[in-house]
Amino acid sequence: MKIEHEKTKEALKWFEEISKIPRCSKNEEKIALWLVDWAKKNNFEAEMDSVKNTLIKVPASPGYENSPTVIIQGHMDMVCEKTPDSNHDFTKDPIKFVFEGEWLTADKTTLGADNGIAIAMAMAMALDKELEHPPLELFFTVDEETGLTGVNELQPGFLDGKILINIDSEDEGVFTVGCAGGINTYLSLPSEYEDVPAGYKKFKINAGGMKGGHSGIDIALGKANAIKIVSRALRAVIKEEIDLRIADIKGGSAHNAIPRDAWAVVFVPEKDQDNMKEIILRSSETFNSEFKCTDPDLFVTVEDSEEDYDKLLTAGKTRETIDFISVIPHGVAFMSPDIEGLVETSNNLANVSINSKEKKIDILTSQRSAVISRLNAHTDGIEAVARLAGGDAYSSDGYPPWQPNMASPLLDRSKKLYEKLFKKEPVVEIIHAGLECGIIGDKYPGMDMISIGPTLKYPHCPDEKIHVGTIGKIWDFIAALLKDLK
């Protein structure tokens, strides 16, 4: 596509370079070292902390030496998701860009604009000799996507600035000033195995074609959860008094992505195989009807399994596993009573797998809430489900909500500048997702913060795409804001 905005070209040039470097969550060392090397080559001061959060200091442009330091912040890691037919290796392969009209997406993988575009824009700004700006701190964290690990390890004194622009929001023209807190919960249920009975045949039940998406931003859209879909299909078979047994089950990937795919390897008596297939077909038709608007490509299929299993769950444990998955909540729990249309509390049933070595079924859930007491209560209820089923549960420490400051001087300045630049008022919102601003504000009291970003659709899944034209608008806004902070 033809790009007119020169600064957009610069940002995309650096984004493409970043996209050549593996940076899945918890594997950010290469990108961190690359950024430090880039900084030193350009005579910028750079340092990493103990977990490899990276800070690059950019001197003020002439006339701004005594202006307050501004932090431009984003995270280095990306959610690494791909379509079932992709052979992409996230440990070594570059992300392949695909332009579709005004949008940039990737070839069967997540794009990583969440949050690589923040790094790219900050790098381009640091090198822009025309940009008028105060001293800048480019602050890039690790492992944001799997639990905000990097920012949780941030130590006092690492940052000097008291004004922070986070570039991790996903709608141009929207200023985010608050977000939900979150907790991950790890559940396990003991499993019991026995030999495969004589006369039983093995099948693989696949649930796929679902849209998935961000477990916070998209949770209110009512999208199908593949783990729930496959468990409902299994229950439909058992309800017809067919002795279905689970040998293996797996679904979901990241804690913050609604599961798009799940599968189960099962055994059923050979005499019941045709009936089982018919039940699965009817279930698929039911799901297609339920989710025709949100997940029109949803499918559930049965095929002969090529995998080798000589053990399966007992009949009782098969039923317990399906019951366990069924009663774990997924979706919106409470809407905000204060802000119309805002999800207050939710849960994402994120991952299920069988650990045959330790003889247990493992499940990961991810709770979010703008209200700490509701977050804790929802988490307590999910933990209780595991204990009532005879299993175990433990939860992460989590992260706090970012409480909005509607009297923020930065917000007031930003609103006026945006209206002057674009002749319309920006939207000011609180989102049902986790942003690092909440933790940064907790660790650095008095930090004045705002979160913005180019328009991004379908993060955390292979449909992720960024609207190229909005990159330039965000650039123009930040440039005007930095100039105004003299």
Q: Tokens at residue 61, please?
A: 């442009």
Q: Coil, strand or helix: which one is 390?
A: coil
Q: Coil, strand or helix: which one is 369?
A: strand
CB 302 within 8 Å of CB 277: yes
77 in active site: yes
Give the active site residue among 114, 137, 144, 168: 144
Nearest in space to 74 (alpha carbons), one of 56, 101, 90, 50: 56
Give the count of beta carbons closer than 10 Å to the beta carbon of residue 274: 9
| φ and ψ at residue 64, rounded to 5 degrees | -115, 15
DSSP collapsed to 3 states, 433-478: CCCCHHHHHHHCCCCEEEECCCCEECCCCCCCEEEHHHHHHHHHHH
- Ramachandran class of 209: left when φ > 0, alpha when ψ lies in -120 to 50, beta otherwise: left
Separation between Cα atoms, residue 422 and residue 242, nearest integer Å:
64
Separation between Cα atoms, residue 276 and residue 397, nearest integer Å:
43
* Kind plus residue range of the DSSP H or E element containing 380: helix 372-388
Strands 448-451 and 163-166: parallel
Q: Tokens at residue 210, please?
A: 């679902």
CB 255 within 8 Å of CB 351: yes
171 in active site: no
Q: What is the Cα Rg of the chain in Å?
A: 24
CB 437 within 8 Å of CB 135: no
* Kind plus residue range of the DSSP H or E element containing 207: strand 200-208
Range 273-277, long-range pairs (CB < 8 A, 24+ positions) = 273/201, 273/203, 275/240, 275/242, 276/203, 276/237, 276/242, 276/244, 276/302, 277/302
Helix axes 113-127, 6-18, angle to 10 degrees: 120
Give the active site residue among 28, 77, 143, 464: 77
Q: Tokens at residue 64, please?
A: 């701004």
Separation between Cα atoms, residue 215 and residue 256, nearest integer Å:
5
Separation between Cα atoms, residue 447 and residue 444, nearest integer Å:
6
Residues classed as catalytic: 77, 144
